[in-house]
Chain A
Amino acid sequence: MVRVRLEFSGGLELLFGNQKECEVDVPVASGQQELTAGHLILWARDNMLQERPELFVKGNSVRPGILVLINECDWELCGAGESTISEGDHVVFISTLHGG
């Protein structure tokens, strides 16, 4: 199990029971040594999402328009879906906004 601090913002929290922050224990995928960001997304979909999964996930990743931040860093800087998530990491899913 890996303890992760999850955060949802930009409206995504509405899909997760209006919860903006939580701490969760996420199991490592069977056959894997480490938890990846990609696996975390699928785990959050299956275990936390309360409505409309099609607004959070597309294929094995997040929907277009959603940024994933690992420890205050764009996940593209550390491997996107392949990024390793370690104990205590802070992962933010944020929907880009268009309004003004």
Chain B
Amino acid sequence: MTTSAPARASRALKIPTRLDRRYLPVVGTFVVLALMLVVGGSRYDNFVSPAVISNLFINNAHLIVLAVGMTFVILTGGIDLSVGSVLALSTVVTAALLQAGWPPAVVIPLGVGAGTVIGLAHGVMVHYFQVQPFVATLAGMFFARGLCFVIAPESIAIDNASFVSLASWVQIFGGWRMSSGVLIALIVVGIGFLVLHFTRFGRTVYAVGGGEQSALLMGLPVARTKVLAYVVSGTCAGLGGLLFAMYSRSGYSLTGVAMELDAIAAVVIGGTLLTGGTGFVLGSVLGVLVLGLIQTIITFEGTLSSWWTKIVIGVLLLIFVALQRVLSLRRT
């Protein structure tokens, strides 16, 4: 891409024409995901069918949104343990307000906004008070869960007609189905991708993860970026809650217990380093699909007792991570 051939070409670093090393983990994830599909397809009837793949997305739309938000935070070198609880809070707020007769046009922004506010609080704690992200968001996790109980310990059904019709919107293409939730999730993924790769904020997120001090000395707006990353994650958790409320048409305070671990696992499986600075939103989406696929395999197996389910999930996770590791080590 450089304009002229320099005289000192002999010293220029030889760029491998093959795949950029940065994409290796993601490619690894993709390859192993494909392998899982192949193996699953050969073991179970109907496994690789449009219906199953569509369901994979429909069932995991909320998790995809959580993972996108989590990717931002992890890229800055942080972590957000609150997303499961915030998701629950958003479902509860949404359901409770709808039950109280508020119109969806007001309720939906409020539900999502609850996540934004909590995210902002995290950002402020992490950046201005230098509380470690793990702790700040752990506190946020308790806080959101506690708020859920205070609002409504029991599950609340949503029967608001316009909300239900939004929730049950489905587009059908042959055997493929796309729900409103999936559509929203895909839009979020698209926005996440664009923001991370085509805005200064996005690149600063990477810079902060690569070295907060360096980023600061480079004169980048570290404070704003870090706070904003938590705001993004909180908002995504709120939106995830909305999707979950649409998916289950209810709000429940015990929803999403330990869902933050799923989100973190998805992000990490997708090739993002927890130390920050490297990773991709699309990788995280693949990570969610991997987790979803593991669950699908378990259901298709159909004979696993509860404990074997746990053990098999662990083993599949191990195989997955080990394979991915081997693949990316090989190529480097």
* A, B assembled together: no
Q: Which B residues form the contact surface with A (CB < 8 A)?
A: none
